Chain A
């Protein structure tokens, strides 16, 4: 009982510490630059993190399942071009369905390679990252693509508001809640955690571990497709390289959220808080007019601290 309690306590404090750290960073930026505290800026932060949080929810599945998905940045680019170009061709509804399909299909391919062929996910998704980026450039002809009709209703996903709340933020919340419920409450979610902990035990316990690993990549691909719809409709168009570097932010969010990098543990809520911290920092650097290069350095330092704390927490568990 005691062990479990102290263990949970560490986890709890750690996850809430991240929230506290986010608030402290927020206050520091706010004291330097008062416009940081304005309603529009706060809304802007949430709008900013919608993409990272949605993709992070998917990435959480992949990481809990014991893998990394480095292909999400390129997939974001691909799905961005797809949603814009197919909206122009077949209308918004068919375009949304098609984009989600592309996201899932990419997940099936990556998931098959990692789950059934048992290739190392780092290598496999690194390869997929290049393949998907190349596909994007081929598909879009390397051009910026934009909506023929910039006022079509689909732009509401990126630009619309319900009251003062952006629709993208509402989508993010609904999406994360659904992913969270699936992870914590369903048999499937339990199986993802079990497979990430020990796939062999699952293989011998009536769980199809290969299948479960594959589906975690589908969850990640689907999330990325949703994120692409939010991101591309925000500006009404898509650069073929719009997803460049997103995988780093997304993985950072999951790691900040304390997911076990070896698989088995993680939470959508904590990933969301991780995304929030990143959003606050990014917005802060922009508002302070600081170079984006500092932001890269800061993000790297934060990720190292998070991983260090993660190792420390595990060390404590092992000793007990």
Chain B
């Protein structure tokens, strides 16, 4: 029964939670040295399946065969012990400890009662060297950029003797250069016979680094494909169960008068002489590497980041906002990059989240008109097809795509002139992504001025009528029409970077 060809086989896994059948016959196989992509829309059961594997959850039915033996880990520690290492999307390192301490937390080498620092740092450096990382065991985690923290997490897995490494959205906060470094490491681990399960929404990455792909839909196994035999369309179709002839939707509206004009905007050390304009009815994209100054530009316009020089003209009127309150009043909406930190009130309901910015306008006499907030919620629930069991559902329980729609609704219900969307589809499943792209296009067609920031090239190319590229705090190019090509974009974000 045991098949030694496989490092791991999960068969017919069933897991039910009260009222939900989260997994219903899920499966996956991993061979030594194989990189297996695990794809599916958010809520398809990817995380649940992984939790059943490494012992965080206990599967109700099905079997897990690991290294030729039937296993059933009761706790994540048991899974870890056996060599199944999960690297989470949200990093779990302790910021104020060194890299070496983090790597061997719980099993620090010691001489008597004292920590054996030399051995600790040597072991850590050895593991880091193996990954060609420049990070040292004595570095503090708080001083490392996120990409290197991720490296440390992976090195920790290697040091613990990982046989299966699970990477959950590992590139969501990495720049392209860092992604390349990560892939290098994955190839190295692969050569050592480590099996890797790669959870991602990014199709180009999956095709680049993975050997096969397991597709899940509604907790069910839809198929495991050898990637070199299939096309992107086949994979997407398997994930959403329908063909997507039009993955991106470009706004085709009437471009009208100028809504926003920015001239010579500067923030010391961050932005230098940034000038651009946005007109009614068009989607303007901002493309660049992480840290190029795209979000900072928008924050300066929105009044949450002070700037030292430059003028901002909104609808012909020169403005300088001292806080988002004034910006919101003047008709700007800002969907921020980090939903959890700056976009949502996680424990509050969908209805409350949507009404947050508009409350001063939703009054009956002195008081908030709660019926009106519900009306507004239902209106945008219908327009954007928000899937929530109830308006009172805490928003933390919704999928990323639905959360994002609520945030967009928060701004639309104000009737804005300009909407800024910063990485609007980050961490959102592919079905919802396409819905949000359609929504962006329809906003522009309805006469709004729309700014989209994205680090995903296909996305920025797909949705924008015009694109500004940024590098190191400057605008490096303005591209429109035929000028929007991958080569042009790539060349212009590298300038001076």
Contact = CB atoms under 8 A, between A and B. Distances in A.
Interface of A: 1-4, 7, 181, 185-187, 190-191, 193-194, 197-198, 200-208, 264-265, 317, 320
Contact of B390 (A1, A194, A200, A204): A1
Nearest to B17: A320
B19 A205 contact: no
Interface of B: 19, 302, 304, 323-325, 327-329, 334, 336, 341-349, 352, 356-357, 359-360, 363, 366-368, 389-390, 392-394, 397, 410
B367 to A, nearest CB: 4
Contacts of B343: 201, 204
Given A185-B368, A205-B356, A198 B325 contact: no
B392 A197 contact: no
25 contacts: A1-B393, A3-B393, A4-B349, A4-B392, A4-B393, A4-B394, A186-B366, A186-B367, A187-B363, A187-B368, A190-B368, A194-B348, A194-B352, A197-B346, A201-B341, A201-B342, A201-B356, A203-B323, A204-B302, A205-B328, A205-B356, A207-B324, A207-B325, A208-B323, A320-B397
B274 to A, nearest CB: 20
Report the 7 A-B pairs with minimum CB-CB distance, sorted nearest first.
Answer: A206-B328, A185-B367, A1-B390, A197-B345, A4-B392, A205-B357, A187-B359
Given A197-B346, A206-B328, A206-B329, A2 B19 contact: yes
Given A4-B349, A207-B325, A208-B325, A187 B342 contact: no
B324 A194 contact: no
B422 to A, nearest CB: 10
Contact of B359 (A3, A7, A191, A203): A191
Contacts of A265: 347
A117 B157 CA distance: 42
Q: Counting chain A CB atoms within 10 Å of each CB, which of B328, B352, B359, B410 scores highest?
A: B359
B345 A204 contact: no
A204 B392 CA distance: 22
Contacts of B328: 205-206
Given A201-B341, A207-B324, 17 more contacts: A1-B393, A4-B393, A185-B366, A185-B367, A185-B368, A186-B368, A187-B368, A191-B359, A193-B348, A198-B341, A201-B342, A203-B304, A204-B304, A204-B343, A206-B325, A206-B357, A264-B345
A200 B341 contact: yes
Contact of B348 (A1, A197, A203): A197
Contact of A187 (B323, B349, B360): B360
Q: Counting chain A CB atoms within 10 Å of each CB, which of B341, B347, B352, B389 scores highest?
A: B347
A207 B334 CA distance: 13
A187 B356 CA distance: 9
B344 A204 contact: no
Contacts of B344: 198, 201
Q: Chain A at the B interface: mostly helix, strand, loop or mixed?
A: helix
B334 A201 contact: no
Contacts of A186: 366-368
Nearest to B414: A206
Contacts of B360: 187
Nearest to B359: A187
Contacts of B348: 193-194, 197, 264
A198 B342 CA distance: 8
Contact of B347 (A190, A204, A208, A264): A264
Nearest to B336: A204
Contacts of A194: 345, 348, 352, 356
A4 B367 CA distance: 24
A124 B392 CA distance: 36
Contacts of B347: 197, 264-265, 317
Contacts of B363: 187
Nearest to B358: A206
Nearest to B339: A201
B399 to A, nearest CB: 15
A320 B327 CA distance: 37
A236 B352 CA distance: 47
Nearest to B411: A205
A308 B360 CA distance: 37
Contacts of B392: 1, 4
B324 to A, nearest CB: 5
A193 B347 CA distance: 11
Q: Counting chain B CB atoms within 10 Å of each CB, which of A202, A204, A208 scores highest?
A: A204
A167 B393 CA distance: 43
A1 B324 contact: no
A200 B366 contact: no
B329 to A, nearest CB: 7
Contacts of A201: 341-345, 356
A265 B19 CA distance: 28
Contacts of A197: 345-348
Nearest to B345: A197
A157 B366 CA distance: 29
B393 to A, nearest CB: 6
A2 B392 CA distance: 10
B342 A4 contact: no
A198 B334 contact: no
A205 B324 contact: yes
Contact of A204 (B324, B359, B367, B389): B324
Contacts of B352: 190, 194
B336 A198 contact: no
Given A197-B346, A204-B343, A1 B389 contact: yes
A192 to B, nearest CB: 12
Contacts of A204: 302, 304, 324, 334, 336, 342-343
Contacts of A1: 389-390, 392-393
Contacts of B366: 185-186
Contacts of B394: 3-4, 7, 317
Nearest to B344: A201
B210 to A, nearest CB: 33
A3 B356 contact: no
Nearest to A260: B347
Contacts of B368: 185-187, 190
Contacts of A198: 341, 344-346
B162 to A, nearest CB: 29
A246 B341 CA distance: 36
Contacts of A206: 324-325, 327-329, 357
Nearest to A206: B328
Contacts of A7: 394
